[in-house]
């Protein structure tokens, strides 16, 4: 029998919901490119319910314990005395999320003698030392495409919020004011601007498709260039590198994975090549942007605004400067864990577990590392290496 260790974010401070604003969510048949949604044999949850927090348990307990397996669910993931660290020693499977990541560093992988499978409940497996997983010969899998459109929608929302300076206007209402001049002194129209996407995978392409009706000029850079038909349909301008695209754009949206070559990609030098007063939106990974360089750019006016849904480490310490820097639209990592997305990634985790427990092949699209090498989506989107360095600072949030 297997021991499955599942790390999920904490329940709402008011407790697990007893009711929800909506009675149902749309029943999608497939993803936009035709890829099938998760296909587990069965689910033990209601789509649209809160599944991603501790009490939700991804709807896995009945399934796993009914087969005699052990399921440990915790939010306590950081530091040597955490539940995660103690239970990891003899765990066969670890399930974690990008939003509340249990960082599988080289040190932790060395302690996890039985660990054979790491599952990301979502997309983006950079919280796993992929080189360490390769060396260990284990499997890393994620639920590809489960929340890509959720994130793409969040990107469009963030771009509009920055350009129209929505957040300060909302705050004036909360304060009881009617300060129109204050509200609009930094507000513009998105129409006619040039928007560039760093990467055009499932999320990046989803963003570009959703921005086309706004009558903006669309640019992108990508390791795997899009088909000519897609470029023509969306009127896209392709750039072979980020540097050539930045000076042309009023808005940049970051949609690439985190791996060693993209770590701290947006530093002082690269940001200096952007238009003065441009906007930067990052829903990919916090570590792609160098923390203090973003603060400096906002304070100097090189950036007019920064909206990020991702931080490093996560959860971010309470004194993280992105919480207090000017002209930001930061959120805790929520874009990919809407109630709609949770139904898909919970079903995908169950599908992966069913395959693994029954010794059936895991869907190729879900694979990041398999049999000691990058595989599936991992071979397409990642490079071997480790991007978990510095993750021990997540303990500061717990101590704070």
Is 267 designated active site? no
Radius of gyration from C-alpha coordinates of the chain: 21
User: DSSP assignment of 48-93, as one string?
Assistant: TS--SBTTTGGG-HHHHHHTT-EEEEES--SSTTSHHHHHHTT-SE
- Catalytic residue of the set 108, 202, 320, 333: 333
Beta strands (DSSP E) in the chain are: 3-7, 70-74, 93-96, 117-120, 139-142, 194-198, 217-221, 236-239, 251-254, 278-282, 303-308, 367-370, 373-374
Q: Which residues, at least 6 apart from 230, have a Cβ–Cβ distance to it below 8 Å?
A: 205, 236
Q: What angle do CA 353, 358, 362 make, to 5 degrees?
A: 55
Task: Please report, for residues 84, 176, 289, 397, the alpha-carbon distance to residue 79 in angstroms, rounded to integers and kept in the order given.
Answer: 9, 43, 25, 11
DSSP string, 188-234: ---TT-EEEEE--SHHHHHHHHHHGGG--EEEEE-SSPPPHHHHHHH
Catalytic residue (one of 255, 302, 314, 342): 314
Residue 222: how many other CB atoms lie within 10 Å: 19
Active site residue 154: no
Alpha carbon distance 140, 277 (integer Å): 40
Distance between alpha carbon 129 and the CA centroid of its chain, in Å? 17
From 199, 130, 188, select the one nearest 164 (Cα to Cα): 188
What is the 3-state composition of the chain as percent helix, strand, coil, each rounded to the nearest 5? Answer: 35, 15, 50
List the catalytic residue out of 219, 239, 285, 320.
285
Catalytic residue status for 314: yes
Catalytic residue list contains 282: no
254 forms beta bridges with 198, 282
Answer whether 169's CB lies under 8 Å from 183's CB. Answer: yes
Q: Which residues are catalytic?
A: 147, 285, 314, 333
């Amino acid at each position: 029998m297997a021991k499955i260790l599942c790390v999920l974010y904490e329940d709402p401070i008011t407790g697990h919901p007893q009711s929800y604003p909506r009675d149902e969510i749309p029943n999608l048949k497939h993803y936009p490119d035709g890829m099938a949604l998760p296909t587990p044999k069965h689910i033990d949850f209601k789509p649209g319910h809160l599944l991603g927090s501790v009490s939700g348990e991804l709807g896995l307990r009945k399934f796993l314990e009914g087969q005699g397996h052990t399921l440990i669910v915790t939010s306590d993931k950081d530091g040597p005395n955490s539940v995660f660290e103690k239970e990891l020693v003899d765990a066969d499977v670890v399930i974690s999320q990008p939003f509340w990541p249990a960082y599988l560093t080289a040190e932790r992988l060395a302690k996890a003698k039985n660990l054979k499978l790491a599952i990301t409940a979502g997309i983006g497996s950079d919280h796993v030392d992929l080189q360490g997983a390769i060396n260990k010969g284990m499997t890393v899998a994620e639920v590809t495409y489960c929340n890509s459109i959720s994130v793409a929608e969040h990107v469009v929302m963030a771009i509009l919020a920055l350009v129209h300076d929505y957040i300060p206007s909302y705050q004036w209402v909360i304060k009881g004011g009617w300060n129109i001049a204050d509200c609009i002194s930094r507000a513009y129209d998105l129409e006619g601007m040039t928007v560039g996407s760093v990467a055009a995978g499932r999320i990046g392409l989803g963003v570009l498709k959703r921005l086309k009706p706004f009558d903006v000029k669309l640019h992108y850079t990508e390791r795997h260039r899009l088909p000519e038909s897609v470029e023509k349909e969306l009127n896209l301008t392709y750039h072979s590198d980020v540097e050539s695209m930045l000076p042309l754009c009023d808005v940049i949206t970051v949609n690439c994975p985190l791996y060693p070559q993209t770590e701290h990609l947006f530093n002082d030098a690269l940001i200096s090549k952007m238009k003065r007063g441009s906007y930067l939106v990052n829903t990919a990974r916090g570590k792609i942007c160098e923390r203090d360089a973003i603060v400096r750019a906002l304070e100097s006016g090189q950036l007019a605004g920064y909206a990020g849904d991702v931080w490093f480490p996560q959860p971010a310490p309470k004194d993280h400067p992105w919480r207090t820097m000017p002209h930001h639209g930061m959120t805790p990592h929520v874009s990919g864990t809407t109630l709609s997305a949770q139904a898909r990634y919970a079903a995908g985790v169950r599908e992966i577990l069913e395959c693994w427990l029954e010794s059936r092949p895991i869907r190729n699209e879900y694979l990041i590392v398999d049999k000691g090498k990058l595989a599936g989506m991992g071979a397409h989107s990642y490079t071997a290496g480790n991007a978990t360095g510095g993750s021990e600072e997540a303990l500061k949030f717990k101590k704070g």
